[in-house]
């Protein structure tokens, strides 16, 4: 029953957004695939969510003074966003250009960091790296404030090369030192980070020319009195950086790759695709939006072999579910439990386990996390009072007068976002529906029972292995 257009649109929205209810898929499919890609890419042309209203109801959430406040505010923003790709890219960079509050102990600075990332999420990569290098959160997280002219701290210089741009094996230890030297003097103005007596004050970037090593440096074969900006400009144009970013984008948007530390020894899943993306990066003056345009319009992205080839991250599970069932689209109590739900599945927003971010793919899954994933989604899609679930029940009721168990299962899969499952799974679901007796809905009682059966089937679909994938 699903048209190919809608299935492809569902794939696009699972990746470029947080999934979408069936009505949205229909509307977008009617608009066309390329037009939708363009609309997602030009995020800033869409009116933003109503941040002032969110701040009114989530008092203290914006640039908050406590972790739950900023976590809740971002979670709300992801659920409510009118610019799904911008938010998805913010999440993407958050998993790579990592910073976390357990080291910062300064929620407001963590939140400012995410705002900076969002603003640069779809722009030129070197611009993002320059902003990142001046970002107080990063200066704290990777110790650049302790890197001085006469005693460098290599932490930021190293991770900039290893984790944020080129990847291991493409630079020398000397390059690390040179980069670290170039970023000396990129520090913070003195600030108060105790929350007593009146809450913390924001950190501010400060360039201290006195503490900057202005000497000549040889970096990646080039010689000069490089400052941090020069280093970033050199890094940005390296083919290694192009490949590294391309592979990250492939991993996040197309199909799960092996974990990053294995990239040096394991070739990409689809080397040709990574090359296409790397070329797009180099040819567009390092513009991420241009790379994504190529990615979403490419055959390797649209190909059915990569549908469901990524395990959803916990945040995708939570946000996607809420958008599907139409709950929490505006601020309401309970956002904290959604943040906690993602945490229970292994992803504490704004607090990654280390500078390597979260290990995704298969590593999202363990018994505790899977229990939490299944129950979280099942409890919501089984709640017949939620508007998104009600719409599914209504749409299903409209299909035909009498509905066979297999049509019923196919209909539920379709309305949950054009989901495809393996035939064994489908047969298990059909067998279950058959066991439940006829799907009639002539009387009030039968209609209530029909609705219950829908809720139950949605729960089972949510608990399937296939549903764990995007």
Partner 1 sequence: MTTQAKVTRDFRYDVTLGRTNLSGIGFRNPVDLALGKNGNIYVINRANEAQPFGTRISWLDINQDFHGEFGQRGNEDGQFIWPLSIAVAPDDRVFVADEWLSRIVIFSQEGQPQGTWGTKGSSDGELDGPSGLVFDSKGNLLVSDGNNHRIQRFTPEGVLISGFGTFGAGEGQLNQPWGITVDVHGAIFVADWRNDRIQKFTPEGQFLLQIGTSGSGEGQLNRPTGVAVDRDGDIYVTDWLNDRVQVFDAQGNFVTTWTGDANLSKWAELQLAGSPDVVEQRDTVPDMLEMEKRFREPIAVEVDEENRIMIVDCRRDRIQVYKKVS
Partner 2 sequence: MTTSTKDPVLVVIQLSGANDYMNTVIPYTDPLYYDFRPVVSIPQNEVVPIDGQLAFHPSLSPLKDKFWDTGKMALIHGAGYPNPNRSHFRSMDIWHTCEPEIMGIEGWLGRAIRDLDPTAENVLTGVNLGQSLPRALAVPGVPVASVANLEQYGVLTGIEGDKERNQALDVFARMYTPAVGSGIVMDYLAQTGQDILKGADILKVAPAKYSSTVEYAENSIAQALKGIAQVHLADLGTRVFYCSHALYDTHATQVVDHKKLWDDLAPAVCDFYDDLREHDASDNVVMLLFTEFGRRVRDNGSGTDHGSGGGSFVIGDPIKGGMYSEYPSLKPEDQLDGDLRFSYDFRGIYSTILERWLGLDAKPVVGGSFEQLDFI
Rounded to an integer, what distance in angstroms lies between the CA atom of residue 301 and that of residue 255? 9
Owner of token pair 């799904």: 84
Question: Where in 65-94 is the site for partner 1 (CB under 8 A)?
Answer: 65-69, 72
Helix (H, G, I), strand (E, B) or coil at 187: strand
What is the dihedral sign for C-alpha 372, 373, 374, 376?
Answer: positive
Question: Residue 386 CB, nearest distance to partner 2 (Å)?
Answer: 13
Q: Binding residue for partner 1 (CB under 8 A) from 45, 151, 197, 305?
A: 197
β-strand partners of 224: 217
Q: Which stretch binds partner 1 (CB under 8 A): 30-38, 195-203, 303-311, 460-468?
A: 195-203
Q: Which is nearer to partner 1, 193 or 463 (CB)?
A: 193
Kindly write out the interface string for residues 185-204 of this chain, putting x where it contacts partner 2 by CB under 8 A and - elsewhere: -----------x--------
**Residue 332 binds partner 1, judged by CB under 8 A:** yes
Owner of token pair 């900057």: 212
**Helices (H), ranges, 83-225:** 84-96, 101-104, 107-120, 125-133, 136-141, 155-162, 173-182
**Residue 54 binds partner 1, judged by CB under 8 A:** no
Residue 153: which of 117, 181, 125 has the closest Cα?
Answer: 181
Rounded to an integer, what distance in angstroms lies between the CA atom of residue 270 and that of residue 360? 18
Q: Which stretch binds partner 2 (CB under 8 A): 50-58, 283-291, 320-328, 374-382?
A: 374-382
Backbone angles phi and psi of 188, in degrees to 5: -120, 145
Q: What Cα–Cα distance (Å) separates residue 464 from each residue in 127, 152, 469?
A: 42, 51, 10
Q: Which stretch binds partner 2 (CB under 8 A): 28-36, 204-212, 299-307, 339-347?
A: 339-347
Chosen from partner 2, partner 1, none, partner binding at 451 (C-beta under 5 to 8 Å by type): none
Rounded to an integer, what distance in angstroms lies between the CA atom of residue 118 and that of residue 327? 24
**Residue 143 binds partner 2, judged by CB under 8 A:** no
| Token pair listed for 81 | 């966003």
Q: Which is nearer to partner 2, 125 or 308 (CB)?
A: 308
**Residue 68 binds partner 2, judged by CB under 8 A:** no
**Residue 105 binds partner 2, judged by CB under 8 A:** yes
**Residue 198 binds partner 1, judged by CB under 8 A:** yes
Torsion of CA 75, 80, 82, 85, to 10 degrees: 30
Binding site residues, partner 2, CB under 8 A: 67, 100-103, 105, 196, 256, 311, 340, 343-344, 351, 353-355, 359, 361-363, 365-368, 370-372, 374-375, 378-379, 382, 422, 424-425, 428-429, 431-432, 435, 456, 459-460, 463-465, 468-469
Binding site residues, partner 1, CB under 8 A: 52-53, 55-57, 59-61, 64-69, 72, 190-199, 201, 332-336
């Amino acid at each position: 029953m699903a048209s190919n257009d809608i299935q492809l649109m569902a794939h696009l929205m699972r990746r470029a957004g947080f999934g979408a209810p069936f009505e949205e898929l229909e509307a977008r499919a009617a608009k066309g695939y390329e037009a939708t890609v363009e609309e997602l890419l030009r995020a800033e042309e869409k009116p933003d969510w109503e941040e002032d209203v969110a701040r009114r109801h989530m008092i203290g959430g914006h640039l908050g003074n406590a972790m739950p406040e900023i976590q809740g505010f971002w979670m709300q923003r992801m659920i409510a966003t009118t610019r799904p790709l911008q938010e998805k890219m913010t999440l993407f960079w958050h998993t790579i250009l990592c910073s976390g509050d357990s080291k910062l102990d300064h929620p407001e600075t963590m939140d400012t960091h995410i705002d900076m990332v969002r603003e640069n999420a779809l722009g030129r990569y070197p611009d993002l790296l320059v902003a990142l290098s001046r970002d107080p959160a990063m200066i704290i997280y990777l110790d650049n404030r302790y890197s001085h002219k006469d005693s460098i701290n290599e932490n930021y210089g190293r991770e900039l090369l290893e984790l944020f741009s080129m990847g291991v094996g493409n630079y020398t230890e000397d390059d690390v030192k040179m980069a670290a030297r170039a970023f000396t003097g990129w520090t913070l103005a003195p600030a108060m980070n105790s929350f007593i007596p009146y809450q913390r004050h924001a950190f501010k970037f400060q360039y201290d020319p006195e503490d900057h090593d202005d000497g000549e440096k040889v970096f990646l074969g080039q010689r000069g009195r490089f400052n941090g900006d020069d280093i970033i400009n050199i890094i940005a144009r390296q083919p290694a950086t192009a490949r590294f970013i391309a592979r990250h984008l492939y991993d996040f948007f197309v199909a799960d790759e092996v974990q990053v530390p294995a990239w040096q020894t394991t070739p990409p899943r689809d080397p040709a695709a990574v090359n296409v993306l790397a070329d797009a990066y180099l040819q567009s003056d390092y513009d991420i939006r241009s790379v994504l345009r190529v990615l979403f319009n490419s055959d390797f992205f649209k190909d059915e072999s990569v549908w469901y080839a990524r395990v959803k991250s916990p945040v995708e599970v939570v946000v996607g579910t809420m958008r599907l069932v139409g709950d929490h689209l505006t601020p309401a109590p309970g956002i904290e439990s959604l943040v906690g739900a993602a945490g229970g599945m292994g992803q504490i927003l704004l607090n990654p386990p280390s500078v390597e971010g979260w290990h995704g793919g298969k590593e999202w899954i363990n018994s505790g996390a899977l229990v939490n994933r299944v129950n979280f989604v099942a409890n919501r899609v089984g709640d017949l009072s939620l508007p998104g679930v009600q719409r599914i029940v209504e749409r299903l009721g409209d299909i035909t007068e009498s509905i066979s168990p297999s049509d019923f299962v196919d209909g539920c899969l379709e309305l949950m976002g054009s989901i495809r499952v393996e035939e064994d799974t489908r047969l298990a679901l059909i067998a279950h529906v058959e066991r439940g007796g006829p799907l009639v809905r002539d009387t009030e009682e039968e209609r209530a029972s029909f609705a219950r059966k829908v809720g139950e089937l949605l729960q089972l679909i949510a608990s399937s292995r296939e549903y764990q994938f995007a």
